[in-house]
């Protein structure tokens, strides 16, 4: 267990601007620009009748192109969900997707508003059509970027690499200390005096604001123990946390948690491994029967497990500046990671010698690298894989 006086367990939650708010913001900016720019002094100037048609053409052209592009991109989301895993949201969750559509909406509103605003003027500033042209070029570049992102996410290798990189980032943010041979002293918490339960629709716990919760617990002289891990599902009435020592307002915790409909990479340390295991399992299903894809997923799993092998994982006890535990966060153990990443794949790979051999190599490599206290769980799985190879594929075990 790790007790630290600095809240470095997670970064502060990143509250993304919602798609609806981004569209409203771009629409307001477009409206204001469409009303303000035609009022500029007409020097240098152009005739209003010469640009009205161009403004309408640019506006409807941009919004029409955006509609076509985004309609086609729905097929990309459907393809990745059906081919890899339904939980894969790399593309649909990318901010550039909905920000690009919001920008196109802003361009459309600017051009239409500007065209109507200059209709009763004889001459207007050349800034009006120049800005419309520049905005159209930027919108086209953004839509090209979105298309390139889509092409990346329908290919297996770039998709697996992206999952790996995002998982690495969250692991680096959470696990920074090397493995300790001597376990920390157990922490005795006072009896819980107040449960905090979730009320509302079913959601996923996506992020928590560790610095804010640590400060609040210190100021109120309490211990807040979360009972749901990041990425865990919450239903109405579920126990979200327990407060030790004395009661505090529920909102003190609830306003420092971020929930949503789907799991995200931001603070979820197991989400990437879950996705990679899902892709391997789908590839090993009788309907797909693609062991090579399962092997590629295992290569990424191997890389992530190697990075975790030498890290201290028991760090869920966060202390204040006086070394008093104030916040308890449930985090996976080494066995939890192995169970999540490998156990289901080992069972599903029983008919595939290619995948069993890759699993054997993965476990042999881990066994040589993990600290000795963690080697027994690796050895158990290695023995299971070798037994399956020995009984069903004896030629592979001797290779």
DSSP assignment of 308-319 equals HHTB-----EEE
Residue 295 sits in the same domain as residue 331:
yes
The answer as to whether 285 is a domain residue is yes
Residue 200 sits in the same domain as residue 98:
no
Residue 141 sits in the same domain as residue 192:
no
Q: Which of 125, 124, 146, 143 is nearest to 135 (CA)?
A: 143
pTM to 2 decimal places: 0.82
Do residues 325 and 226 touch, judged by C-beta distance below 8 A? no
Give the pLDDT band (50/70/90) at residue 92.
low
The answer as to whether 228 is a domain residue is yes
Lowest mean pLDDT among 119-128, 160-169, 199-208, 239-248: 119-128
- What contacts 341, CB < 8 A, 6 or more positions away? 273, 276, 277, 301, 304, 305
The answer as to whether 1 is a domain residue is no
The answer as to whether 2 is a domain residue is no
Give the pLDDT band (50/70/90) at residue 391.
confident
Residue 292 sits in the same domain as residue 237:
yes
Residue 127 sits in the same domain as residue 242:
no
Higher pLDDT, 107 or 155: 107
Residue 149 sits in the same domain as residue 267:
no
Q: How much is the pLDDT for 8? A: 56
Lowest mean pLDDT among 58-67, 232-241, 291-300, 336-345: 58-67
Give the pLDDT band (50/70/90) at residue 5.
very low
Do residues 66 and 104 touch, judged by C-beta distance below 8 A? yes
The answer as to whether 106 is a domain residue is yes
Residue 145 sits in the same domain as residue 198:
no
Helices (H), the chain: 19-36, 48-83, 95-118, 127-153, 156-174, 210-220, 251-254, 271-284, 291-309, 334-338, 344-348, 353-369, 372-392, 394-397
Give the pLDDT band (50/70/90) at residue 22.
confident
The answer as to whether 266 is a domain residue is yes
| Count: domains in the chain | 2
Residue 238 sits in the same domain as residue 382:
yes
Residue 195 above 90 pLDDT? yes
Residues in the chain, overall count: 399
Q: How much is the pLDDT for 68? A: 83
Instruction: Using alpha carbons only, give the angle 81, 84, 89 rounded to the nearest 5 degrees.
Output: 50
Pairing of strands 325-328, 233-234: unpaired
Residue 399 sits in the same domain as residue 309:
yes
The answer as to whether 341 is a domain residue is yes
Higher pLDDT, 116 or 93: 116
**10 Å Cβ neighbour count for 172?**
11
Residue 169 sits in the same domain as residue 148:
no
Assess whether the previous peptide bond of 44 is cis (omega < 30° from 0).
yes
Higher pLDDT, 119 or 283: 283
Give the pLDDT band (50/70/90) at residue 7.
very low
Give the pLDDT band (50/70/90) at residue 396.
low
Residue 92 sits in the same domain as residue 206:
no
- What contacts 107, CB < 8 A, 6 or more positions away? 30, 58, 59, 62, 63, 132, 135, 136, 139
Residue 222 sits in the same domain as residue 345:
yes
- What contacts 382, CB < 8 A, 6 or more positions away? 360, 363, 364, 367
Residue 252 above 80 pLDDT? yes
The answer as to whether 80 is a domain residue is yes
Residue 27 above 60 pLDDT? yes
Do residues 243 and 227 touch, judged by C-beta distance below 8 A? no
Range of the domain at 167: 159-176+185-399
């Amino acid at each position: 267990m790790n007790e630290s006086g600095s809240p470095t367990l997670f970064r502060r939650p990143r509250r993304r601007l919602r798609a609806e708010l981004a569209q409203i913001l771009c629409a307001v900016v477009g409206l204001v620009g469409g009303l303000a720019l035609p009022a500029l002094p007409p020097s240098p100037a152009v005739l209003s009748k010469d640009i009205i048609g161009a403004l309408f053409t640019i506006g409807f052209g941009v919004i029409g192109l955006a509609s076509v592009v985004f309609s086609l991109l729905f097929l990309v989301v459907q393809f990745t969900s059906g081919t890899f895993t339904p939980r894969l949201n790399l593309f649909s969750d990318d901010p550039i997707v909905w920000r690009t559509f919001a920008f196109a909406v802003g361009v459309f509103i600017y051009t239409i508003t500007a065209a109507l605003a200059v209709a009763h003027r004889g001459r207007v500033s050349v800034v009006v059509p120049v800005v419309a042209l520049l905005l159209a070029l930027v919108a086209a570049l953004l839509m090209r970027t979105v298309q390139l992102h889509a092409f990346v996410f329908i290919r297996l290798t770039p998709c697996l690499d992206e999952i790996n990189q995002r998982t690495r980032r969250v692991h680096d943010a959470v696990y920074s200390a090397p493995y300790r041979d001597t376990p920390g002293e157990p922490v005795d918490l006072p009896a819980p005096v107040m449960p905090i339960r979730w009320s509302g629709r079913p959601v996923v716990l996506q992020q928590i604001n560790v610095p804010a919760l640590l400060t609040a617990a210190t100021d109120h002289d309490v211990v807040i123990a979360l009972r749901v891990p990041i990425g865990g599902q919450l239903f109405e009435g579920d126990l979200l946390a327990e407060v030790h020592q004395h009661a505090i307002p529920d909102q003190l915790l609830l306003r420092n948690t971020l929930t949503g409909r789907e799991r995200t990479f931001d603070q979820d340390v197991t989400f990437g491994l879950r996705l990679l295991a899902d892709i391997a399992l789908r590839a090993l299903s009788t309907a797909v029967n693609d062991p090579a894809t399962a092997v590629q997923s295992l290569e990424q799993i191997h890389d992530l497990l190697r990075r975790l092998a030498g890290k201290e994982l028991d760090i869920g006890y966060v202390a204040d500046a006086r070394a008093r535990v104030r916040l308890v966060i449930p985090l996976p153990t080494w066995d939890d990671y192995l169970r999540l990443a490998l156990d289901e794949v080992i069972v599903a790979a029983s008919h595939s010698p290619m995948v069993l051999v890759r699993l054997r190599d993965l476990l042999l490599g881990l066994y040589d690298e993990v600290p000795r206290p963690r080697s027994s769980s690796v050895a158990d799985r290695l023995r299971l894989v070798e037994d399956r190879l020995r009984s069903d594929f004896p030629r592979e075990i001797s290779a």
